[in-house]
Amino acid sequence: MNRLAVFFGSDFLYRFRTDPVAVGATVVLGLFVLAAVFAPWLSGMNPHDPAQIDIMNSEIPPVWQDGGAPAFPFGTDAQGRDLLSAILYGLRISITIGIFAVMVQMTLGIVIGLVSGYLGGKVDAFFMRLADIQLSMSTLMLAIVALAVFQAAFGAELFADMAIIMLILVIGIAEWPQYARTIRASVLAERKKEYVEAARVIGLSAPVIMVRHILPNTLSPLLVISTVQVANAIISEAALSFLGLGMPVTKPSLGSLISAGFEYIFSGSWWITTIPAIVLIVLILSINLLGDWLRDVLNPRLYKG
């Protein structure tokens, strides 16, 4: 109760309430997340179920255009799927991949960053050089190579089943250095403080000091990176799907929807690719605006998204 009261009386909440951009971004993001969570109840059909798709309904324009049907507010795609349902389900997949990929990054990054920063010396040098090497190659390049090799080795069918997990792992592993570096920088700053020496004087072991004392004091920069990194992961996923290395068309994410609709854009069915693209852009924009605001408020040094 006490903590809650402290939070509500805090400067943090005050600055949030008085910043229209932060409030706006949060509202938009909240709507997207709710839409993703309740997708099965909000959509007219299950776009992943081939039995519910009628090819005769293909390429119906959105409801505000001539020839639109009220059953399909955003129209349908080339297979006759309701675009709104596909977007809601796609949003679900995109956000899931984004969040879980970031959790993988965070876990790797926290462990490596804490150990590097606290132990220093050769361990630190090893991990930081590894991070340099990994950062010198782009995430997408690494992901493309990994996914292409997997697809070639195990076949497209298995790949389609495993796509979500593969995307989470690949995007997760490719971006750990961001976290590791930020955590390491915070650890280096924190470990010089006297409360860490006090913990050593008590006789606590290094792992206990790292997790119980140092880690909680490095969390505010983590919050900032996490928002930006979720956005980055969603973009990476969309890009990979667009390139055909991500979610299969049968279980489309936002990226695969954009990709699938792309070939129809000049045949007049512009909505198949444009509407998911707008959704993606608004989603990324709201996350990034929120992240920028958090960075301004919490002001962690050293991290440039």
Partner 1 sequence: MSEAAAMTRDSGRESGGAPAADRPLVEARHVVKHFDLGGHFLQRERPTVKALNDVSITIRRGEAFCLVGESGCGKSTLARVVMGLLDPTDGEIRFDGTRIDALGHRARKPFHRRMQMIFQNPYASLNPRRTVQQTLEEPVRFHFPKLSDAEVKAKVEQVMVSVGNDPGWGNRYPHEFSGGQRQRISIARALMVDPDFVVADEPISALDVSIQAQVLNVMMDTRERLDLTYLFITHDLSVVRHFGSRVGVMYLGTLCELADTKTLFETPRHPYTRILLSAIPRVTTEEMQPPGLPGEVPSAMNLPSGCVFHDRCPLANARCSAEVPKPQSQADGTLVACHAVEEGRG
Q: Is residue 129 a contact residue for partner 1 (CB under 8 A)? A: no
Type of residue at 247: M
**CA distance linking residue 126 with residue 139, whole number of Å:** 20
Q: Is residue 52 a contact residue for partner 1 (CB under 8 A)? A: no
Q: Is residue 2 a contact residue for partner 1 (CB under 8 A)? A: yes
Instruction: Find how far residue 254's CA is from the centre of its chain.
Output: 13
* Closest approach of partner 1 to the CB of residue 197, in Å: 6
Quick one: which of 216, 263, 281, 299 contacts partner 1 (CB under 8 A)? 216
Q: How far is CA 98 from CA 28, 130, 135, 300, in A?
A: 17, 24, 19, 23
Q: Is residue 123 a contact residue for partner 1 (CB under 8 A)? A: no
Quick one: which of 56, 203, 301, 304 contacts partner 1 (CB under 8 A)? 203
What does the buried/exposed string (b/e) look like for 245-271 if buried means 16 or more CB atoms within 10 Å of the residue's CB?
bbbbbebbbbbbbbbbbeebeeeebeb
* Closest approach of partner 1 to the CB of residue 99, in Å: 25
Q: Is residue 12 a contact residue for partner 1 (CB under 8 A)? A: no
* Closest approach of partner 1 to the CB of residue 120, in Å: 11
Q: Which is nearer to partner 1, 143 or 199 (CB)?
A: 199
Rg of the chain taking only CA atoms, in angstroms? 22
Stretch that binds partner 1, among 48-56, 138-146, 213-221, 287-295 (CB under 8 A): 213-221
Q: Is residue 189 a contact residue for partner 1 (CB under 8 A)? A: no
Q: Is residue 217 a contact residue for partner 1 (CB under 8 A)? A: yes
- Among the listed residues 134, 116, 128, 115, the one whose alpha carbon sits nearest the alpha carbon of residue 172: 134
Q: Is residue 4 a contact residue for partner 1 (CB under 8 A)? A: no
Contact at 8 Å (CB) between 265 and 103? no
- Among the listed residues 44, 192, 35, 173, the one whose alpha carbon sits nearest the alpha carbon of residue 103: 173
- Among the listed residues 7, 83, 6, the one whose alpha carbon sits nearest the alpha carbon of residue 45: 83
**CA distance linking residue 166 with residue 172, whole number of Å:** 10
Quick one: which of 145, 195, 223, 250 contacts partner 1 (CB under 8 A)? 195
Instruction: Give the contact letters, 92-121, x = binds to partner 1 (CB under 8 A), - = no.
Output: ------------------------------
**CA distance linking residue 247 with residue 97, whole number of Å:** 10
Q: Is residue 200 a contact residue for partner 1 (CB under 8 A)? A: yes
Contact at 8 Å (CB) between 275 and 77? no
Stretch that binds partner 1, among 60-68, 86-94, 164-172, 211-219 (CB under 8 A): 211-219
Q: Is residue 188 a contact residue for partner 1 (CB under 8 A)? A: no
Q: Which is nearer to partner 1, 92 or 213 (CB)?
A: 213
Stretch that binds partner 1, among 71-79, 94-102, 155-163, 200-208 (CB under 8 A): 200-208
State the DSSP code for 62.
P
Q: How many helices (H) and strands (E) would you count in the chain?
A: 13, 0
Residues that bind partner 1 (CB under 8 A): 2, 193-195, 197-205, 213, 216-217
